[in-house]
Structure 1
Amino acid sequence: MFNAVAFAAGGTPAEPDAQASRLVGHPAWVRLKRAVADLQAVQAADGSVPDPQAHPAARTAVRTLTDAVTELAPLFPHDTDYLAALVKDLTRWTDGGFAEPDFLDSLVAFHPERTRTDGREHLVVFPMYTQNGSADRHIEAVLVQVIWPDFVADLEAGDYSNKLFVPIRFLDFTAGYDTNSAVLFPETVAMREIPKFTWGAIFADREAARFRRVVAAAAEITGLALPPDAARLLDDPRLPEETFVMWDLIHDRTHMHGDLPFDPFMIKQRMPYFLYSLEELRCDLTAFREAVKLEGPDVPHARLVQYAILFDRIFRFPITGSRVRNYDGLGGQLLFAWLHRHGVLHWTDNRLSVDWTRVAESVLELGRRIEDLYWRSIDRPKVNHWLAAYALVSETLEPHAASVWARGVGALPVDGPPKGLTDAVLPDEFPLSMFYEALSRKLAPVIASTKGITG
């Protein structure tokens, strides 16, 4: 029954509508992209143009950019205020001699969260860094399209309210997004002060596209037989895209819900990276739990969300990125090892197999363990909470042989400031297992090939 429902939910692959296609080939957009590239060539890491000899070229590029934005603006009537403020910010940056840019005014005028309509397009231009992409605050531009299917709108209007969440797909982009970045966050923009952020956008098409490529390769490498409904995620571009939107909707709101430690994880603070691992994993496992609750013909994507979380976490996360404080990687390692230790996942005769009847309960149990850690945290000193979190992870994952934390309280500077404890955490506190080392040799090139991928 679930296979039939999943098939019905899949439909045909989504294509950008006619207007979106015209936008990508619009002469003004082509000129805009070229102007952005010219600016990036002379910008410093902070977004300024420090060389006076480069100012004439930068001035010409900004003039081309503002003219293109003005020409394109009528195609985005829902963003009139933003695009007008953008032209003013670009002009002020030029008049100020191309110092470190400040685009606060245009940022606070941009409100994609107010018009979450399926297929709606936005032209977005800001000086910003791109997470998992470029660390430079260069001018970047993207044409995006909102993904807002009816079932997601119904979920968000009910028990899963998240007014800040904006799922989008790429139509076109400049160099900073020809990377692994799959988010568009306002906090990455260059600005003079930090306002209250009202939106956060995630490129579900990039998430879905790399999921399809990586999981297909991983299943072939490990000999994993996918259930028919899970296999559907690899065959239909639209289905995983909508599945990731549902996953991200619940994950994103979870950062603000639950029995959280007193210091919210969203506040930037230095702490052992395994705490970030547990927070991200908690949000994913909450999405998994809610998907189990919603499973049925009314929300056919719920079953698919469970597969997406499981496969993305155990295949792509552990071997993506460097081994330096890789908190997403660690979360994936923990989930894999948890399922293996509890007899749900098996690696026998060089083949991976899963007892699908036991997956849900085992994943939910890990989620309950993390939730209990959080619930107890309010009654614990910070150091004790950190120690309890480490105990939870190291109960399942083997720490590095040289780990100071693994030796216990007697080896740690618990009498000093928390900084000493953070410094004692190795960059790769929980190294890859032999399974992942072997898998990485075959799967890492596939993961690398997803750089810049779109749906």
Structure 2
Amino acid sequence: MTEILVQAATEGTLPPAVRVVEHPAWPVLKDAVEQIRPWQSKDGSIDFDAEGAPEKATAEGTVGRVIAAVEELAPLLPHNEAYHQALVADLRRWADDGFQIPDFLDSLLAFQPAAQRADGRQHLVVFPMYTQNGNPDRNLEAVVLRMVWPEWLAELERTRYDNPLFCGITFEDFTSGYDTHSAVLFPETIAVREAPARFSWGGIFCDREAARFRKVTEASVDILGLELPDDIREMVGDQQRCQEAFVLWDMVHDRTHSHGDLPFDPFMIKQRQPFWMYGLEELRCDLTAFKEAVKLEADGVPQARDVQYAVLFDRMFRFPVSGERVRNYDGLGGQLLFAYLHKHDVVRWTDNTLKIDWERAPQVTNQLCADIEELYRAGIDRPKLVHWFAAYDLVSQYLAPHPGSRWAKGPDALDLTLPPRKLVDDVLPDEFPLSMFYEALSKKLKAVIAATKGITAEDAQRVAA
């Protein structure tokens, strides 16, 4: 079998239907990785003196199984030849060095999925990494994924939304670190000796986002008694339509972090700022995607209207009540969007029923985007601390600060002799608590959101059936 695949890859005749996850080496690889993961410490190393640790020879043998499986699967993926060779070398070096803190920089640099984006192309990815919104430890993970790059999306990227590093992706299969709420594959999460000068790709699993969105939105609509327009109800029931909406949303959102006035990437956590600044940045990027979707709808792009309601519903229903309340900047952005629309009478919560003015929703949502953009433009001429207070004022127009907040009392309540980064310590973990509306919604949605842990497109289809 392997010799035939090698020959086919060399001749360029490898059949596109061959799935990595159907090859007998994949379950071997997955099982070996799952054996290694519990042996690892938080930093990815293996402490052989720790309780439950294996013999060093056992760990070496298990990594050997990983290497053998990668080498057996590699002919299925000739486009990843350089990466798989570097991966094998990194795995061997990790074992030869006694399983210290892993360093997979060489294989990370060799993995270049954005260089040749092709719809449906498979990738086998093995790295020691943490998973955002998933596992905080740098465990070894193995993932088989497919690229989502249909021609309509590629055309929009070429002509309107240049984003050469963006990879829309879907799951084929994964190890335990992705049996979580994580829906991204980011190079920043991988264990390396030093960060590269620049990262060359970033992947977002639109199938998980779509499946989670559908499950939470369906529950929210039922709980809130919301009547949906026919086309939006059909979209929520259609996994493929939702995936297309999310991959377009993600592509525009991702590029917005480096466009506009005063952009910054929330991943750069060294930019120590109050968490409402991260919340506004994430919301700015989402609302930019919304604004662009309004334009695209006018231009006849079929996915554009779906993007608008994916942004509205995910932001208003799931984001505010997901995760812990400690510095929850995505939750803050969702609260702000709902409160803004509520104050402008686009959403009404009356008689235990939510009503939305569908005609005015795009206009008023774009208005919030304009308010945040104006905040950023004015921030160019402000000192950092003054800009933070201006942002606080914008948020607190619509969300009530915690009664015990020092920031809510204004500059006189803070020690302004300290540098701005020190004043971040005076921000309460839950500076803007949930409103009574969201407290009630959270109790009813909590179990639904928890049930989306590890969800896949197949899971969503089974639920729909």
Q: Are the equivalent residues in 1 in contact too, given 2:232–2:309 (CA < 8 A)?
A: yes
SS state of the match for residue 192, structure 2?
A: coil
Q: 1:368 aligns with which of 367, 370, 384?
A: 370
**Alignment partner, residue 30 of structure 2:** 33
**Alignment partner, residue 4 of structure 1:** none
**Alignment partner, residue 199 of structure 1:** 201
Matched, 1:225 2:227: yes
Kindly provide the amino acid, as one letter, of the partner of residue 325 in structure 1.
R
**Alignment partner, residue 104 of structure 1:** 105
Shift of residue 94 of structure 1? 0.7
Classify 1:384/1:446 alpha carbon distance in 2 versus 1 (closer, same or farther; 3 Å). Answer: same
Superimposed CA distance per residue, residues 241-281 of structure 1 (whole angstroms, 9 cap, x where no aligned partner): 011000000000000000116x7655332210000000000
Q: Are the equivalent residues in 1 in contact too, given 2:18–2:76 (CA < 8 A)?
A: no
Moved more, 395-404 or 274-283: 395-404
Shift of residue 406 of structure 1? 1.1
**Alignment partner, residue 386 of structure 1:** 388
Classify 1:55/1:302 alpha carbon distance in 2 versus 1 (closer, same or farther; 3 Å). Answer: same
Q: Are the equivalent residues in 2 in contact too, given 1:20–1:121 (CA < 8 A)?
A: no
Classify 1:264/1:246 alpha carbon distance in 2 versus 1 (closer, same or farther; 3 Å). Answer: closer
SS state of the match for residue 439, structure 2?
A: helix
Q: Are the equivalent residues in 2 in contact too, given 1:149–1:242 (CA < 8 A)?
A: no
Classify 1:265/1:129 alpha carbon distance in 2 versus 1 (closer, same or farther; 3 Å). Answer: closer
Q: Are the equivalent residues in 1 in contact too, given 2:122–2:145 (CA < 8 A)?
A: yes
Q: 2:43 aligns with which of 43, 46, 65?
A: 46
Matched, 1:317 2:319: yes
**Alignment partner, residue 119 of structure 2:** 118
Matched, 1:273 2:281: no
Superimposed CA distance per residue, residues 357-391 of structure 1 (whole angstroms, 9 cap, x where no aligned partner): 11011011111110011001111011000000000
Q: Are the equivalent residues in 1 in contact too, given 2:130–2:189 (CA < 8 A)?
A: yes
Partner Cα separation in structure 2 for residue 155 and residue 265 of structure 1? 25
* Structure with the larger RCO, 1 or 2 (CA within 8 Å, 6+ apart): 1
User: Structure 1 length as normaliser, TM-score?
Assistant: 0.94
Kindly provide the amino acid, as one letter, of the partner of residue 280 in structure 1.
E
Q: Are the equivalent residues in 2 in contact too, given 1:204–1:244 (CA < 8 A)?
A: yes
Q: Are the equivalent residues in 1 in contact too, given 2:220–2:317 (CA < 8 A)?
A: yes
**Alignment partner, residue 64 of structure 2:** 63
Partner Cα separation in structure 2 for residue 412 and residue 396 of structure 1? 23
SS state of the match for residue 325, structure 1?
A: coil
Superimposed CA distance per residue, residues 280-338 of structure 1 (whole angstroms, 9 cap, x where no aligned partner): 00000000111111114631111110000000000000000000000000000000000
User: Structure 2 length as normaliser, TM-score?
Assistant: 0.92
SS state of the match for residue 55, structure 2?
A: helix
Q: Are the equivalent residues in 1 in contact too, given 2:131–2:185 (CA < 8 A)?
A: yes
Task: Report % sequence identity.
Answer: 59
Shift of residue 38 of structure 1? 1.0
**Alignment partner, residue 429 of structure 1:** 431
Kindly provide the amino acid, as one letter, of the partner of residue 104 in structure 2.
F
**Alignment partner, residue 8 of structure 2:** none
**Alignment partner, residue 145 of structure 1:** 146
Partner Cα separation in structure 2 for residue 413 and residue 239 of structure 1? 52
SS state of the match for residue 163, structure 1?
A: coil
Q: Are the equivalent residues in 2 in contact too, given 1:86–1:106 (CA < 8 A)?
A: yes
SS state of the match for residue 145, structure 2?
A: strand
Partner Cα separation in structure 2 for residue 40 and residue 57 of structure 1? 13
Partner Cα separation in structure 2 for residue 72 and residue 377 of structure 1? 52
Partner Cα separation in structure 1 for residue 17 and residue 244 of structure 2? 19
Partner Cα separation in structure 1 for residue 26 and residue 17 of structure 2? 12
Superimposed CA distance per residue, residues 156-202 of structure 1 (whole angstroms, 9 cap, x where no aligned partner): 01110100000100000000000000000011111111112100000
Q: Are the equivalent residues in 2 in contact too, given 1:42–1:54 (CA < 8 A)?
A: no
Q: Are the equivalent residues in 2 in contact too, given 1:383–1:414 (CA < 8 A)?
A: no
Q: 1:236 aligns with which of 231, 235, 238?
A: 238
Superimposed CA distance per residue, residues 186-236 of structure 1 (whole angstroms, 9 cap, x where no aligned partner): 111111111121000000000000000000000000000011111122211
Q: How does 1:439-450 map to 2 (within 5 A)?
A: 439-450=441-452
Partner Cα separation in structure 2 for residue 235 and residue 377 of structure 1? 42
Q: Are the equivalent residues in 2 in contact too, given 1:403–1:425 (CA < 8 A)?
A: yes
Q: 1:248 aligns with which of 236, 250, 256?
A: 250
SS state of the match for residue 360, structure 2?
A: helix
Shift of residue 87 of structure 1? 0.4
Q: Are the equivalent residues in 1 in contact too, given 2:347–2:356 (CA < 8 A)?
A: yes
SS state of the match for residue 170, structure 1?
A: strand
Q: Which runs of 5+ in 1 are unaligned?
A: 1-17
Kindly provide the amino acid, as one letter, of the partner of residue 69 in structure 1.
V
Q: Are the equivalent residues in 2 in contact too, given 1:120–1:145 (CA < 8 A)?
A: yes
Q: Are the equivalent residues in 2 in contact too, given 1:133–1:177 (CA < 8 A)?
A: yes
Classify 1:118/1:280 alpha carbon distance in 2 versus 1 (closer, same or farther; 3 Å). Answer: same
Partner Cα separation in structure 2 for residue 139 and residue 37 of structure 1? 8
**Alignment partner, residue 136 of structure 2:** 135
Superimposed CA distance per residue, residues 22-68 of structure 1 (whole angstroms, 9 cap, x where no aligned partner): 42232100000010011112111111111165312211111100000
Partner Cα separation in structure 2 for residue 186 and residue 95 of structure 1? 24
Shift of residue 412 of structure 1? 1.7
Partner Cα separation in structure 2 for residue 395 and residue 101 of structure 1? 47
Q: How does 1:67-82 map to 2 (within 5 A)?
A: 67-82=68-83
SS state of the match for residue 413, structure 1?
A: coil
Q: Are the equivalent residues in 2 in contact too, given 1:413–1:420 (CA < 8 A)?
A: no
Shift of residue 90 of structure 1? 0.4
Kindly provide the amino acid, as one letter, of the partner of residue 220 in structure 1.
D
Q: Are the equivalent residues in 2 in contact too, given 1:79–1:110 (CA < 8 A)?
A: yes
**Alignment partner, residue 189 of structure 2:** 188
**Alignment partner, residue 210 of structure 2:** 208
Q: What is the CA RMSD across the aligned residues, in angstroms?
A: 1.3
**Alignment partner, residue 361 of structure 2:** 359
Q: Are the equivalent residues in 2 in contact too, given 1:35–1:64 (CA < 8 A)?
A: yes
Classify 1:139/1:150 alpha carbon distance in 2 versus 1 (closer, same or farther; 3 Å). Answer: same
Kindly provide the amino acid, as one letter, of the partner of residue 236 in structure 1.
D
Kindly provide the amino acid, as one letter, of the partner of residue 45 in structure 1.
K
Q: Are the equivalent residues in 1 in contact too, given 2:43–2:138 (CA < 8 A)?
A: yes
Q: Are the equivalent residues in 1 in contact too, given 2:144–2:171 (CA < 8 A)?
A: yes
